[in-house]
Amino acid sequence: MADLGYVEGQTVHYEFRSDHGEPAKLAALADELVKLGVDLIVTWYTPPAQAAKRATNSIPIVMALAGNPVETGLVESLARPGGNITGMAGSAAELARKCMELIREMLPKSRRVAVLANGADPFSKPFIEYARTGADATGFAVETVVMKDAAELDKLFDQMAQDRPDALLVQPSLPRRRIAELAIKQKLPAVSVIHGFVEEGGLMSYAPAEAEIYRRAAAIVDKILKGAKPSQIPVEQPTKFELLVNLKTAKALGQTIPTAMLVRADQVIE
């Protein structure tokens, strides 16, 4: 927004709200923003976008990123979103399939992958479906583990420790840092489709280039603040993707990352 000429405190004022990993708070937070009379709401991930949509049908909503917004009912179509929502559509469900290919490359002898999904996020359905498609194509057996509440995480990881999958694919709207910690504790290679997972200790991610997503979302916000209608602004999709690897985590897991994967990685955390 600063690059577009906005000056915080002068030409624009921001109100930040977070559920701090507790999705049950999203409805109240969205209602709070509506009562404040904000001119526009920017959301990150599907649950906040849906909470904002339920809270208002008049205030413009820009998705900084939301997975498969047509399938989850946020917009009518990417070309003609309709209503008061537009923004950036994540391709995380499709990337779940790509992650299966990367797990196969990293762990060629692996046979079973657990998919950890967020039961509070409607995006979990397409995420699981694409993960299963990718697993079928790469010869993996898949076990779906659904988290209904963050308090269940330790129990779920204890269960996975007994079942011993070869790797874990993590839905991006889950508590990333805690999952990364538990995965290291259980010696479980964990992969996701969001940069922050690797930055917080996850082993690997294949995800849209976040800086570009933020720039495009800001450009959409700028258009709306200058009078454009969300219903007439097509939802955009990421065009650049990045592979991140955390070598520190690999060492903690006793896992060797293939040289070819490290060479083509966009970022290696050491």
Do 188 and 235 fall into the same domain? no
pLDDT tens digits along 187-225:
999 999 988 899 999 999 999 888 899 999 999 999 999
Query: Rounded distance, CA 237 to CA 247, Å?
Result: 30
Using an 8 Å Cβ cutoff, are 52 and 27 in contact? no
pLDDT along the chain (270 residues), means of 10: 95 94 89 97 92 96 89 91 92 80 94 93 87 92 91 92 94 91 96 92 93 93 97 92 96 95 95
* Beta bridge pairs of residue 61: 41, 85
Q: For residue 131, what are the domain limits?
A: 92-207+242-269
Do residues 136 and 260 both lie within one domain? yes
Asked whether residue 115 is domain-assigned, the answer is yes
Asked if 148 and 247 sit in the same domain, the reply is yes
C-alpha distances (whole Å) from 190 to each of 43, 157, 242 are 26, 12, 17
Say yes or no: 98 and 201 in one domain.
yes
Same domain, yes or no: 74 and 189: no
Output the domain CATH number for residue 67: 3.40.50.2300
Shared domain check, 151 and 136: yes
Tell me if the pTM is above 0.85.
no
pLDDT at position 101 is: 93
Copy the structure tokens of residue 93: 């469900």
Q: 30: burial class by Cβ within 10 Å (0-12, 13-18, 19+)? A: buried
Residues 251 and 159 in one domain: yes
In the block, which residue shows the tokens 């992958």?
113
Give the phi and the psi of residue 120 in degrees, each rounded to 5. -85, -5
User: Which pLDDT does position 90 carry in this prediction?
Assistant: 76
- Do residues 49 and 164 both lie within one domain? no
Listed residue (44, 142, 122, 133) closest to 96, CA to CA: 133
Pick the closest to residue 127 from 204, 45, 232 (CA basis).
45
pLDDT of the residue at 239: 87
Sign of the dihedral through C-alpha 105, 107, 109, 112: negative
Find, among 91, 135, 83, the residue nearest to 110 by Cα.
135
Same domain for 36 and 128, yes or no, is: no
Both 171 and 256 in one domain: the answer is yes
For the chain, the helix, strand and coil percentages under 3-state DSSP, each to the nearest 5: 45, 20, 35
Q: Could you tell me if residue 14 is inside a domain?
A: no
Question: How far is it, in rounded angstroms, from Cα 55 to Cα 37?
Answer: 12
